[in-house]
């Protein structure tokens, strides 16, 4: 399930959200921000940029809470490693969230760009969302929603990016009936982006309340519950979403 996603496109991260603690060594320096404690390797790239990383993460934290209308007051520990080998992760732009211990681990390498900010924000969102809304019912919701509320204050990987990507990859995007089915989920980069794009569209269109109701719904009940919450079928709103993205790309 670790996406092992290699950095093919500039937005391409591997992510896996798991439970439980993991072993840590003692070779860290820590910096506290409003909502995070950043743990960095001494004299690393992450340490040199800890102030900006903290700023980005604090902004993401408040953005996620506001956009989803949720309550979360936890303090998150972010362990920022120098490489995939150092982090025991699959790639140099990979991360993992540990909602139960309110911690994340990620590789943190140059450049200091939107891809890195996006990766750290996505992992932080796993922790915030799971603690505020419970256990996600589908991979679609778990990883889609972690990307659907990304703040674009410091970089461009947000709603407009996902909607433009949707328009330019329309034929490659699986049907939503496939994306919401956990037995068909492969954890690919396309699945992540398409899920984020659709959920961002739903929040933009109908606010966060129905999403909170859908968060824990499992694959087999998803389409029916969706219909009850939105008063429209998944297929109908899928058509609207694709048309919305296509029209936006023409603007
Ligand atoms: Zn994820």
The alpha carbon of 52 and the centre of ligand 1 are apart by a number of angstroms equal to 22
Print burial letters for 17-52: b (CB count within 10 Å at least 16), e (below 16): beeeeeeeeeebeebebebbbbbbbeebbbbebbee
The alpha carbon of 8 and the centre of ligand 1 are apart by a number of angstroms equal to 17
What domains sit in the chain, N to C, each tagged with a CATH number?
14-133 (3.40.30.160), 139-250 (no CATH)
Measured CA to CA, the distance from residue 160 to residue 173 in angstroms comes to: 17
Residue 14: per-residue pLDDT = 58
Residue 24: per-residue pLDDT = 78
**3-class SS at 6?**
coil
Structure confidence by residue, pLDDT tens digits, 59-83: 999 999 999 999 999 999 999 999 9
pTM across the whole model: 0.91
Residue 8: per-residue pLDDT = 29
Residue 11: per-residue pLDDT = 42
CB 96 within 8 A of CB 8: no
Low-confidence stretches of the chain (pLDDT < 50) are: 1-12, 19, 21
User: What residues are neighbours of ligand 1 (ion), with CB under 5 Å?
Assistant: 15, 143, 146
Tokens of 172: 């490659």
Interhelix angle for 114-133 vs 139-148, to 10°? 120
The alpha carbon of 234 and the centre of ligand 1 are apart by a number of angstroms equal to 23
The alpha carbon of 158 and the centre of ligand 1 are apart by a number of angstroms equal to 15
Residue 113: per-residue pLDDT = 96
Residue 17: per-residue pLDDT = 55
């Amino acid at each position: 399930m670790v996406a092992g996603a290699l950095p093919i496109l500039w937005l391409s991260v591997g992510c896996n959200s798991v439970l439980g603690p993991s072993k840590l060594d003692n070779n860290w320096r820590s910096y506290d921000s409003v909502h995070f404690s950043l743990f960095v390797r001494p004299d690393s790239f992450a340490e040199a940029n800890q102030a900006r990383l903290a700023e980005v993460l604090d902004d993401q934290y408040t953005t996620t809470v506001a956009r989803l209308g949720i309550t979360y007051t936890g303090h998150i520990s972010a362990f920022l490693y120098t490489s995939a080998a150092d982090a025991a992760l699959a790639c140099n732009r990979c991360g993992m969230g540990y909602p139960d211990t309110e911690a994340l681990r990620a590789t943190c390498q140059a450049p200091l760009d939107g891809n890195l900010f996006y990766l750290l924000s996505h992992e932080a969102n796993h922790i915030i969302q799971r603690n505020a809304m419970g256990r996600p019912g589908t991979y679609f919701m778990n990883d889609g929603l972690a990307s659907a509320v990304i703040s674009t204050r410091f970089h461009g990987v947000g709603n407009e990016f996902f909607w433009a990507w949707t328009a330019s990859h329309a034929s490659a995007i699986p049907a939503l009936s496939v994306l919401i089915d956990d037995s068909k989920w492969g954890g690919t980069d396309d699945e992540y982006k398409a899920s984020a794009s659709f959920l961002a569209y739903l929040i933009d269109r109908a606010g966060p309340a129905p999403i909170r109701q859908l968060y824990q719904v499992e694959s087999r009940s998803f389409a029916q519950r969706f219909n009850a919450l939105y008063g429209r079928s998944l297929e109908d709103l899928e058509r609207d979403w694709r048309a919305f993205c296509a029209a936006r790309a023409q603007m």
